[in-house]
Structure 1
C-alpha cells in the first residue's frame, strides 16, 4: 500500500472519530442520560450548545473534505501518478485536518479558515500532479 493510500485510511479513521465525538458531545454521552440518548434513536435531541454546534460543523466539514481527498487519492493511485507532489499534498491535507479539528472546537475563527486553506492547497498539489 502506498503512503497516500495509508493516509486515506488514517483520514477515514479521523473522520469517523470526528463524527462520533460530535455526536457524544451533543448528547453529553458521558452522562447516564446522555448514554441512553446516544444508544437510542436520537429523537428529541437536546438543543446544541455552542460547543456542540462547533463539533457538529467540524465533523460535517471533515466528512465533506474527506470525500474530495479520497477521490483525488484514489484517482492518483488508479492512474499511477507517482509524483512526490501527490504524497506531499496528501501529507499537507492530512496534517492540516488534524490541526483543524481542535482549532474549530476552540472556536478560533480566522485561524480555522487559514488551516482549511492549507488543506485545500494540499488537495490542489495532488490534483496538479495528476493532471
Structure 2
C-alpha cells in the first residue's frame, strides 16, 4: 500500500474516533432515548459536545477532498516523497484540529484547518505534474 493510502486509512480511523467522541459527549446532553428516536427536531448541542459535532462534520468535508487527492495520485501513479509528506501533514493537522476545536483555541483552530486544506490542495495539484 502506498504511503498516501495508508494515511488515508488512518484518517478514516480518525473519523471513527471523532464519531465516538461526539457520541459520548452528545449523549451526556440529550435526554435518554433521543439518540434512538426519529430525530424529527434537530437537537442543538452546546459546549464541547457541539464543538465535537462541528469538528466531526468538518472532517467529513475535509476527508472527501483528501480522499480525492489520494485516489487521483494513486490512480495516476504520481505519488512521491513530497505527496507522502503532504499526506502526513494533512493527518497531523486533522489530529491537532480536534483538540483545538474542542478547547476553542482561536485563531489556532482556523490556522490548523488551513494547513490541512492546503496539504490536500497541493497533493491534488501535484497530480498534474
Could you tell me which runs of 5 or more consecutive residues in structure 1 were left unpaired when the two chains were aligned. Answer: none
Deviation at 1:10, TM superposition (A): 0.5
Say if 1:126 and 1:45 are closer, same or farther in 2 by CA, change over 3 A: closer
Alignment of 1:1-131 (within 5 A): 1-28=1-28, 34=32, 36-38=33-35, 40-41=36-37, 43=39, 47-131=44-128
TM-score (norm 2): 0.86
Higher helix fraction (1 or 2): 1
Q: Distance in 1 between matches of 2:78 and 2:17?
A: 30
- Ranked by relative contact order (alpha carbons within 8 Å, sequence separation 6 or more), the top structure is 2
Structure 1 stretches (4+) deviating beyond 4 angstroms? 44-47
Deviation at 1:45, TM superposition (A): 7.2
Q: Aligned residues, how many?
A: 127
RMSD: 2.1
**Range that drifts further, 42-51 or 76-85:** 42-51
Could you tell me which runs of 5 or more consecutive residues in structure 2 were left unpaired when the two chains were aligned. Answer: none
Post-superposition Cα deviations, 1:8-62, rounded to whole Å, max 9, x if no partner, equal 1100110122122212211128xxx75x544x23647764122211111000001
TM-score (norm 1): 0.85
